[in-house]
Amino acid sequence: MKITAARLIVCSPDRNFVTLRIDTDEGIYGLGDATLNGRELAVAAYLEEHVLPCLIGRDPFQTEDIWQYLYRGAYWRRGPVTMTSIAAVDVALWDIKGKALNTPLYNLLGGRSREGVLVYTHANGRDIPEALDSVRKYMDEGYLAVRAQAGVPGVASSYGVPKAGKPYEPAERGLPSESLWSTEKYLNFAPSLFEKLRVELGSDVHLLHDVHHRLTPIEAARLGKSLEPFHLFWMEDPCPAELQESFELIRRHTTTPIATGEVFNSLWDAHDLMRHHLIDYIRMTIVHGGGITHAKKTADFAALYQVRTGYHGATDLSPITMAAALHLGLAVHNFGIQEHMHHSPLTDGVFTHQYTFDAGYMHPGNAPGLGVEIDEALAAKYPYQRAYLPVARKLDGTLTDW
C-alpha cells in the first residue's frame, strides 16, 4: 500500500479544528487531528509546507519509521507545533492500518484491557451552589467522575467558569481576552467548594479539580494539604511543570494525587516526574504528544512507575483525538481516566463518530480504525476564524499564567 495524497481540512464548527486526511492507492484513507488551540495555522503551515510532501509514496503501515523520519529528520525535535504535526500523521496512519486490517484500532494496541473507559466531565458554576447543581446534573447523567470549578469571590472571570449561560469554552474568537487572578482569594476559597460538594454529594463520586498552572510549589502544597479531607481523584497542574523539581516540594507536603502534562509534548518532558514518583497521572495527550506511537511508549514508561494515564480531552481536541484516546485507553494496562468535555452538536455533526457513553464509561466502538468520519461539505460551511485562549493578570496588573 502507498500514500498517494495528503491534505488538510481547516474548519470552525463552533471552534477551530485542523484535520489531516491521508489517502492511499487502495482507496483507504485515514484521519488525524492537528489542532493546536490558538496557534492552529502554524501547524497547518508546518504540515503543508514541510511534512505532507515527504509522505507521498510511503507505505502507511510503517508508522514507526515515518515517526522517526519526521522527528529525527526535522533535526529540531519536540515542541508543540512539531509534535502536533507528527501526531496528525501518525494517527491518520494508524486509522489506515485499522481499516486495512478491518479491525478497531484498540486491537492493534494490545486489545481490550477493560470493558469501558472511565471518563470525567466538566462541572462549573459562577458560585458554589451553581457548581453543586452542575456536578449533580452530570451525576444524574451517569458520570462517576466530575471535575469541579467555581468562580472565586472577588475575582472576575475565574478559570473554567462559563460566561453568560454559554457552555464553557476556553478559546474565544477575536484577539485574546484578559481575565483576573488572585492566588490569595483562590486558596482561601477552594477548600470550601470541595467541603460543600462532599457534604452534599457523599464520598463515592470522584471529584477532580484543575489549578491550571497558577500556583507556586509551596502554594500548591498548601492547596493539596487543605483538600486532603475531601479526597480528590486529582489536583491538576498545580504549578507550571517546566521546572520538574517543583513537584518534589509539593509531594513533601501532601497526599492529594497530582495530574500534569496537558502542555507536554514528549516523554522527555515527563520522565523525571515519573522516575521520582512526583506525579500520579500523565495528561500529555495524543494530539500534542506525537500521536499514538509516542503516547503508547509514554504510557508503557509510566507503567513502570505506577503512573496512570489521564489524557487531556477538552473541546479543542477534536473527536478524532477523543476516539484515539478511547482506543488507547481501552488497551493500555495503566489507564487511569479520560477527560470528556462535550463537543457542541455542530462539531459532532461535522465529525461523526462511533464512540458512545454509558453509565460513566465510554467505548470507542468496533468500527475498523478510529471510527470517525468528517463531513467535508458541512465543514466547508464553517471556515477558520481567528481565536485565542485568554491571558490572565494579577489584581495589580502583572501578567500571570492563565
Instruction: Answer yes or no: 75 catalytic.
Output: no
Q: Which stretch binds ligand KDG (CB under 6 A): 172-180, 245-253, 295-303, 310-318?
A: 310-318
In the Cβ-directed half-sphere of 154, how many Cα atoms lie within 13 Å?
10
Minimum Å gap between C-beta 282 and ligand KDG is: 13
Footprint of ligand KDG on residues 18-47 (CB under 6 A)?
37
Q: Which stretch binds ligand KDG (CB under 6 A): 20-28, 190-198, 309-317, 327-335?
A: 309-317
- Indicate which single residue of 210, 219, 269, 316 sits in contact with Mg ion (rule: CB under 5 A): 210
Pattern 198-237, ligand KDG, x by CB under 6 A: ------------x-x-------------------------
- CA–CA separation, 329 and 63 (whole Å): 19
Find which of Mg ion, ligand KDG, none residue 339 binds, CB within 5 to 8 Å per kind: ligand KDG
- Would you count residue 269 as binding ligand KDG (CB under 6 A)? no
Put the strands of the sheet holding 391-394 in their side by side order: 178-181, 391-394, 399-400
Q: Which stretch binds Mg ion (CB under 5 A): 54-62, 145-153, 208-216, 326-334?
A: 208-216
Binding footprint of ligand KDG, residue count (CB under 6 A): 11
Minimum Å gap between C-beta 260 and ligand KDG is: 10
- Would you count residue 339 as binding Mg ion (CB under 5 A)? no
- Indicate which single residue of 116, 151, 170, 217 sits in contact with ligand KDG (rule: CB under 6 A): 170
- Would you count residue 339 as binding ligand KDG (CB under 6 A)? yes
Minimum Å gap between C-beta 53 and ligand KDG is: 29
The nearer residue to Mg ion, 210 or 280, going by C-beta atoms, is: 210
What are the residues facing 335 on neighbouring strands? Answer: 309
The nearer residue to ligand KDG, 20 or 208, going by C-beta atoms, is: 208
The nearer residue to Mg ion, 39 or 114, going by C-beta atoms, is: 39
The nearer residue to ligand KDG, 219 or 262, going by C-beta atoms, is: 262
Long-range contacts of 243-247 (CB under 8 A, 24+ apart): 244/272, 244/273, 244/278, 246/216, 246/217, 246/220, 247/217, 247/273, 247/276, 247/278, 247/279
The nearer residue to ligand KDG, 95 or 262, going by C-beta atoms, is: 262
243 contacts: CB under 8 Å, gap ≥ 6? none
Find which of ligand KDG, Mg ion, none residue 294 binds, CB within 5 to 8 Å per kind: none
- Indicate which single residue of 95, 262, 269, 280 sits in contact with ligand KDG (rule: CB under 6 A): 262
- Indicate which single residue of 146, 211, 314, 370 sits in contact with ligand KDG (rule: CB under 6 A): 314
In the Cβ-directed half-sphere of 33, how many Cα atoms lie within 13 Å?
28
- Residue 313 · residue 147 · CB < 8 Å: no
Angle separating helix axes 291-304 and 63-72, nearest 10 degrees: 90
270 contacts: CB under 8 Å, gap ≥ 6? 260, 261, 264, 279, 282, 284, 298, 302
Footprint of Mg ion on residues 253-272 (CB under 5 A)?
262
Instruction: Answer yes or no: 29 catalytic.
Output: no
Per the document, the length of the chain is 402
Q: Which stretch binds ligand KDG (CB under 6 A): 74-82, 123-131, 248-256, 308-316?
A: 308-316
- Picking from 102, 143, 108, 138, the residue whose alpha carbon sits closest to that of residue 123 is 138
- Would you count residue 316 as binding Mg ion (CB under 5 A)? no
- 3-state class (DSSP) for residue 196: helix
Which of 29, 122, 186, 212 is flagged as catalytic?
212
- CA–CA separation, 225 and 352 (whole Å): 43
SS3 sequence, 109-165? Answer: CCCCCCCCEEEEEEEEECCHHHHHHHHHHHHHHCCCEEEEEECCCCCCCCCCCCCCC
- CA–CA separation, 306 and 241 (whole Å): 19
- 3-state class (DSSP) for residue 30: strand
- CA–CA separation, 12 and 103 (whole Å): 31
Phi, psi (deg, nearest 5) at residue 353: -140, 160
Minimum Å gap between C-beta 38 and ligand KDG is: 7
- Picking from 287, 261, 293, the residue whose alpha carbon sits closest to that of residue 274 is 261
Shortest-Cβ-distance residue relative to Mg ion: 210
Binding site for ligand KDG (CB under 6 A): 37, 170, 210, 212, 262, 312, 314, 316, 339, 341, 389
Binding site for Mg ion (CB under 5 A): 210, 262
Residues designated as active site: 159, 212
